Amino acid sequence: MLDDIDKKLLAALQGNAHYTAQDLSERLNLSASQAGRRRQKLEADGYISGYHAHLEASRIGLTVQAFVQVQLRSHGPEEARGFARLAEIRPEIISVWTLTGDSDYLLRIYCQDLSSLNQLIHNVILPHPAVARVQSQIVMDQLKQDAPLPT
C-alpha cells in the first residue's frame, strides 16, 4: 500500500522525473537517503515503470494526430495476435487500447501529414486480414496535454 509520502513522491516525479533524491527530500521533508530508498522501492515494486522524455510532436515534424477505431472481422486469438503485431511494429501507432462497444481497438496515431495518415490507414491497417472496419478522427487541437495520473 502507498502511504501519503509515497503518493507525494509519485506526484513529484510525474511533474519532473529529473528530481534527485535531494530535490525529493526537500519536497517531502525527508532525508535524501530516505527519499532515494522510497524511490527505489517504488521502482522495484512496479509503481514506476520508467522515465521518458516528452517530445513536442510538431517540433519533430509530426503535425497530424488521430484516433482510429478498429473493428475486427472475428474475435479469435489468431486475429487478435495478428492485429496486435501490426500495431506493435508501426511507429506511428503510439498507443493501443482494447474497447467495449462497436470497436475492438482504439489507436492513437501521429503522422507527418494527412497523406501519411491516409497511406497508413488505406495501405496498412485496412488491408490487414483481421480488420473489418476503421473509423478515424483527426485531432484539431489538444486542449489539455497528457496529465499526470492522480495519486
Q: Which domain holds residue 87?
A: 57-138
Identify whether residues 35 and 63 lie together within a single domain. Answer: no
CATH code, domain carrying 120: 3.30.70.920
Distance, CA of 22 to CA of 36 (rounded, Å): 8
Q: For 35-83, how does the pLDDT look when each residue is reduced to its tens digit (9 = 90+)?
A: 999 999 999 999 999 999 889 999 999 999 999 999 999 888 999 999 9
pTM: 0.86
Q: Is residue 92 part of a domain?
A: yes
DSSP string, 83-130: HHHHHHH-TTEEEEEE-SSS-SEEEEEEESSHHHHHHHIIIIITTSTT
Identify whether residues 40 and 69 lie together within a single domain. Answer: no
Residue 128 confidence (pLDDT) above 90: yes
Identify whether residues 20 and 77 lie together within a single domain. Answer: no
Q: Is residue 104 part of a domain?
A: yes
Distance, CA of 20 to CA of 100 (rounded, Å): 41
Distance, CA of 57 to CA of 63 (rounded, Å): 7
Q: For 19-37, how does the pLDDT look when each residue is reduced to its tens digit (9 = 90+)?
A: 999 999 999 999 999 999 9
Identify whether residues 62 and 105 lie together within a single domain. Answer: yes
Identify whether residues 121 and 85 lie together within a single domain. Answer: yes
Those residues whose C-beta lies under 8 Å from the C-beta of residue 32, and which sit 6 or more positions away, are: 20, 21, 22, 24, 25
Q: How many domains does the chain have?
A: 2
